[in-house]
């Protein structure tokens, strides 16, 4: 579903991502962990097509992101770490805007909005301007907008930050549902317990380089993910 | 604590004088001095110069008629108007909507200290504008009549009292706007409406000011007696400048009492208003049947919604939307007498071209496209991550200005064409070109604004007023537009004998269309690439 080959992105002299390769297949929840500034967001932004990269190849559903970015974006969704949304719109207008751009027909979008907004207990607030939303409400709205066109791949940067425990639980359910339908999820997190329990596979990035990846069992062995991560971080 | 907060407020106001945001560096000592000299030259030189002239024309006739007090009343009224006008637009946001509200309220600082520091900023703004009127007025009076200790003291007390009145007026207006906006859903539209009404009133007063003053001076004796008899307090206010010590004491006490009353009103509601999100009336969502839009329509609707939601955006980039139809109506109403004068000087063709260039010039007051790319700000990721090409996003911005500018331009041009057809014998083809040219010019302005908007986009602003009002794309779009409109009119008047009017108009139309097409071609290619590289 998502294939990243030899991705390199530099900012000036500094390599934010250095020759990184990853392969995420349909049905997988793939966690991406690393210290602050390790290159997680840069990788996610590059895969989402909102940041140009220097070299390497990214394909989504077999389509090259460089050659046909629009076709790639049609089948995926991206949520950044800080969901800055259009504050001059109400929640429902924002969702309709996203649905219009993705070409979701009126009946389907209504059903999906009803379903997801009810689950996140956001229905009553959909008529409010986004400017009046709390951080958590914005995060929920961003999640609904990502799910509204039923993408095959969702890229998320720290999706659990700002969510209440009920919403976190719901998000995990929705991630499993999407993967159960053959979709895939690639997300970054600092919450190692979440990654450990939720992910099928995990990748650890350090200073732009992928230092370990694979199934959860392969990566952590007999230790906890936290122990492995701290050990790898301590290595020079 | 209060001193510290006032210092912080002043540092915020004068930050740009000490710090070059573009280079991210502190300004040199010379740069700081140059910034302050430039500011002082604008305030003292321009505003002070205007009011020195007005003071000079009023002081002599009034003081020689023994109506020096009326002179001080008139100049104080002008100072109150200018002071209130200068600070009313930022009182509401300055008092209640500061970005550091949460931070300051969370610190162990008395709310009164925060209020004092905010009010001090409003006071200083009012004082600055009032002083631009009253200081020249006082100097002119002292020079004409010879200064004495009491008249100098009286002048200074007048300035102090006027500045307190301005403070009270500004605070009350800010308070009223705050109370209204807390109850209303569309604050942007309300603020824009209030500002337009205020601007309309201001210009109405401004254009009638000289007539009013002349009438007053002609009948100074009669008006003077009336004021003396029926408005004793007002009369006493005027006598302060002449050195009436009792009046100084009385009016200073009145102003202090007024300021104390305003303080009490503000203090009771300050915390509530400053911490309110304004969502008092909660709208509960009711599911409605929606119609699916195409991505292009959705992007256009998004741009229009952004425009109509922001008072700053509407006022700074869309004033022409109101002014163009108003100019069209004015042409229909007074067109014949207005056109008669240039027709005598430039002939029929020159007048037609002048009106056409004038419409192009007014069209520059609609420049929504120029700041629109920078205005994406932190939301840029949405447009970049959606399955739309950057060209679709840019094209929506182009169409937005075309729509917002095209309709009023068409209305004004049709009015102009109707007046020209009624008054002069102009061929139909020329009239068609007369209507077409401002419309093509509007398309050119839109592409021109976007050309700079993409090239010089800055999305890391903290207040949207920066991309809307103070950014280079807007500056170039506006002044470049003026230069082009001026050139369209001036070149024809200069080379009138070499071209027939329809040929000249057709050439300009072709150049405008060609330049627009060229810039759109750039925007579709290189511009789109640059848009995707924006961070």
A100/B292 Cβ within 8 A: yes
CA distance A179 to chain B (A): 21
| CA-based nearest residue to B457, from B369, B374, B370 | B374
Residue B466 is given by DSSP the state I
3-class DSSP assignment, residue B20 = strand
A74/B283 Cβ within 8 A: no
Q: Among B286, B378, B388, select the one facing A84 at the smallest CB separation.
A: B378
pTM beyond cutoff 0.80: no
Tell me the pairing of strands A153-157 and A184-188: parallel
Q: From the DSSP assignment, how many helices (H) and strands (E) are in chain A?
A: 9, 10
Predicted confidence at residue B195, as pLDDT, reads: 66
A82/B287 Cβ within 8 A: no
Q: Among A85, A88, A110, select the one facing B306 at the smallest CB separation.
A: A88
B389/A103 Cβ within 8 A: no
B287/A110 Cβ within 8 A: yes
CA distance A185 to chain B (A): 16
The verdict on residue A118 lying in a domain is no
**pLDDT tens digits for B124-134?**
888 888 898 99
Q: Is some CB atom of chain A closer than 8 A to the CB atom of B282?
A: yes
* Among A residues 126-165, those touching chain B with beta carbons less than 8 Å apart: 126-129, 132
Predicted confidence at residue B285, as pLDDT, reads: 83
| CA-based nearest residue to B416, from B402, B434, B403, B439 | B434
Q: How much is the average pLDDT of A108-115?
A: 94
- pLDDT category at A22 given cuts 50, 70, 90 is very high
CA distance A203 to chain B (A): 23
Residue B27 is given by DSSP the state P
CA distance B529 to chain A (A): 10
CATH of the domain at A34: 3.40.50.300
The verdict on residue A109 lying in a domain is no
Contact assessment for residue A179 and residue A29, using Cβ atoms and an 8 Å cutoff: yes
Please state at what angle helix B390-423 crosses helix B295-309, rounded to 10 degrees: 70
- Backbone angles phi and psi of A55, in degrees to 5: -150, 170
CA distance B163 to chain A (A): 36
A102/B292 Cβ within 8 A: no
Residue A40 structural domain: 1-75+153-160+184-236
Predicted confidence at residue B12, as pLDDT, reads: 67
Interface mutation vs chain A, best among B387, B395, B459, B528, most A CBs within 10 Å: B387
Question: Half-sphere exposure (CA, 13 Å, Cβ side) for A91?
Answer: 28
Please give the angle made by the CA atoms of A189, A194 and A195, to the nearest 5 degrees. 60
Cβ-based neighbours of B327, under 8 Å, separated by 6 or more: B358, B359, B362, B412, B415
The verdict on residue A52 lying in a domain is yes
A124/B285 Cβ within 8 A: yes
Nearest CA in chain A to B307: A88
Domain count along chain A: 1
B389/A101 Cβ within 8 A: no
For residue B458, count other CB atoms closer than 10 A to its CB.
Answer: 17
Nearest CA in chain A to B294: A100
The verdict on residue A234 lying in a domain is yes
Q: How much is the average pLDDT of A164-175?
A: 93
pLDDT at residue A163 is higher than 70: yes
The verdict on residue A91 lying in a domain is no
Q: Which residues of chain A have a CB within 8 Å of the CB of B295?
A: 100-101, 103
B279/A93 Cβ within 8 A: no
Chunked into runs of 10 residues, chain B (535 residues) has average pLDDT values of 77 68 68 78 76 86 86 89 68 71 79 85 85 92 90 93 92 79 65 68 65 73 77 88 92 94 88 68 79 94 92 83 91 84 86 93 94 93 95 97 96 94 90 96 96 90 75 88 92 85 94 97 95 89
Provide, rounded to the nearest whole percent, the portion of chain A with pLDDT above 70. Answer: 100
Predicted confidence at residue B87, as pLDDT, reads: 61
The verdict on residue A135 lying in a domain is no
Q: In Å, what is the CA distance from B62 to each residue of B72, B186, B212?
A: 10, 49, 15
CA distance B331 to chain A (A): 37
Task: Give me the count of residues in chain A.
Answer: 236
For residue B478, count other CB atoms closer than 10 A to its CB.
Answer: 18
Q: What is d(CA B229, CA B225) in angstroms, rounded to the nearest whole number?
A: 6
Predicted confidence at residue B198, as pLDDT, reads: 66
Tell me the pairing of strands A184-188 and A29-34: parallel
Q: Which residues of chain A have a CB within 8 Å of the CB of B302?
A: 86, 89, 97
A106/B292 Cβ within 8 A: yes
Q: Which residues of chain A have a CB within 8 Å of the CB of B286?
A: 127
Q: Is some CB atom of chain B closer than 8 A to the CB atom of A11?
A: no
Q: Is some CB atom of chain A closer than 8 A to the CB atom of B296?
A: no
The residue that leads in pLDDT, A13 or B257, is B257
The verdict on residue A14 lying in a domain is yes
3-class DSSP assignment, residue A158 = coil
B306/A86 Cβ within 8 A: yes
Predicted confidence at residue B25, as pLDDT, reads: 67
Q: How much is the average pLDDT of A61-89?
A: 92
Which DSSP helix (H) or strand (E) runs through A64? strand A63-64
A128/B381 Cβ within 8 A: no
The verdict on residue A4 lying in a domain is yes
Q: What is d(CA A64, CA A45) in angstroms, rounded to the nearest whole number?
A: 15
- What's the mean per-residue pLDDT of chain A? 91
């Amino acid at each position: 579903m998502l294939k990243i080959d030899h991705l390199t992105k530099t900012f000036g002299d500094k390599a934010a991502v250095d020759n990184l390769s990853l392969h995420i297949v349909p049905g997988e929840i793939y966690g991406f962990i690393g210290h602050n500034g390790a290159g997680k967001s840069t990788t996610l932004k590059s895969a989402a097509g909102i940041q140009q990269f220097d070299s390497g190849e990214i394909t989504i559903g077999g389509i090259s992101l460089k050659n046909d970015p629009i076709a790639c974006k049609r089948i995926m969704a991206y949520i950044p770490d800080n969901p800055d949304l259009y504050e001059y719109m109400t929640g429902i207008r924002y969702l309709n805007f996203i649905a219009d751009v993705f070409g979701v027909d009126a009946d389907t979008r209504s059903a999906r909005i009803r379903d997801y907004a009810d689950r996140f207990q956001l229905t009553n607030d959909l008529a409010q301007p986004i400017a009046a939303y709390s951080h958590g409400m914005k995060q929920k709205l961003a999640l609904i907008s990502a799910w509204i066109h039923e993408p095959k791949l969702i890229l998320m940067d720290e999706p659990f930050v700002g969510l209440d425990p009920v919403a976190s639980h719901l998000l995990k359910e929705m991630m499993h549902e999407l993967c159960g339908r053959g979709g895939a999820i690639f997300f970054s997190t600092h919450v190692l317990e979440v990654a450990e329990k939720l992910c099928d596979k995990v990748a650890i990035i350090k200073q732009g380089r992928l230092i370990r990846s694979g199934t959860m069992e392969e990566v952590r062995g007999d230790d906890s993910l936290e122990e492995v991560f701290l050990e790898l971080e301590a290595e020079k | 604590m209060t001193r510290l907060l006032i210092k912080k407020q002043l540092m915020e106001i004068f930050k740009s004088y000490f710090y070059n945001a573009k280079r991210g560096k502190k300004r040199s000592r010379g740069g700081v001095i140059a910034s302050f000299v430039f500011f002082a030259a604008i305030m003292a030189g321009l505003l002070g110069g205007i009011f020195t002239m007005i003071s000079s024309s009023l002081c002599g006739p009034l003081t020689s008629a023994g109506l020096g007090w009326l002179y001080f009343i008139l100049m104080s009224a002008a100072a109150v108007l200018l002071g209130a006008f200068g600070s009313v637009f930022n009182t509401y946001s300055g008092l209640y909507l500061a970005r550091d509200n949460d931070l300051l309220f969370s610190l162990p600082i008395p709310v009164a200290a925060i209020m004092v520091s905010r009010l001090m900023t409003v006071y200083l703004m009012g004082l600055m504008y009032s002083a631009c009127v009253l200081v020249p007025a006082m100097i002119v009076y002292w020079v004409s009549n010879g200064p004495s200790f009491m008249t100098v003291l009286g002048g200074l007390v007048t300035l102090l009292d006027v500045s307190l009145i301005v403070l009270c007026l500004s605070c009350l207006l800010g308070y009223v706007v705050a109370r209204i906006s807390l109850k209303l859903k569309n604050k942007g539209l309300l603020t824009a409406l209030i500002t337009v009404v205020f601007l309309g009133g201001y210009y109405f007063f401004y254009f009638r000011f000289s007539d009013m003053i002349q009438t007053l001076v002609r009948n100074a004796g009669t008006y003077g007696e009336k004021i003396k008899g029926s408005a004793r307090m007002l009369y006493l206010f005027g006598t302060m400048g002449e050195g009436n010590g009792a009046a100084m004491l009385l009016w200073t006490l009145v102003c202090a009492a007024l300021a104390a009353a305003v303080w009490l009103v503000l203090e009771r509601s300050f915390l509530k208003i400053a911490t309110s999100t304004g969502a008092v009336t909660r709208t509960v969502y009711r599911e409605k049947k929606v119609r699916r839009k195409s991505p292009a329509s959705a992007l256009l609707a998004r741009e229009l919604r952004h425009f109509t939601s922001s008072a700053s955006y509407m006022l700074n980039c869309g004033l022409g939307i109101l002014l163009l139809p108003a100019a069209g109506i004015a042409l229909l109403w007074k067109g014949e007498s207005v056109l008669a004068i240039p027709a005598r000087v430039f002939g029929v063709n020159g007048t037609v071209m002048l009106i056409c260039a004038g419409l192009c010039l007014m069209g520059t007051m609609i420049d929504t496209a120029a700041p629109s790319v920078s205005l994406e700000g932190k939301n840029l990721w949405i447009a970049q991550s959606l399955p739309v090409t950057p060209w679709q996003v840019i094209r929506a911005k182009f169409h937005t200005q075309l729509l917002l500018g095209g309709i009023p331009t068409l209305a004004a041009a049709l009015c102009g064409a109707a007046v020209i057809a009624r008054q002069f014998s102009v061929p139909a083809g020329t009239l068609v070109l007369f209507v077409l040219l401002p419309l093509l010019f509007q398309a050119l302005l839109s592409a021109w604004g976007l050309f700079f908007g993409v090239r010089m986009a800055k999305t890391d602003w903290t207040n949207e007023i920066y991309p809307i009002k103070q950014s280079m794309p807007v500056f170039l779009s506006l002044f470049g537009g003026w230069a082009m409109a001026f050139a369209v009119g001036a070149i024809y008047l200069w080379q009138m004998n070499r071209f027939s009017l329809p040929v000249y108009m057709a050439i300009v139309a072709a150049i405008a269309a060609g330049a627009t097409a060229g810039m759109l071609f750039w925007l579709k290619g290189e511009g789109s690439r640059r848009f995707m590289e924006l961070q």
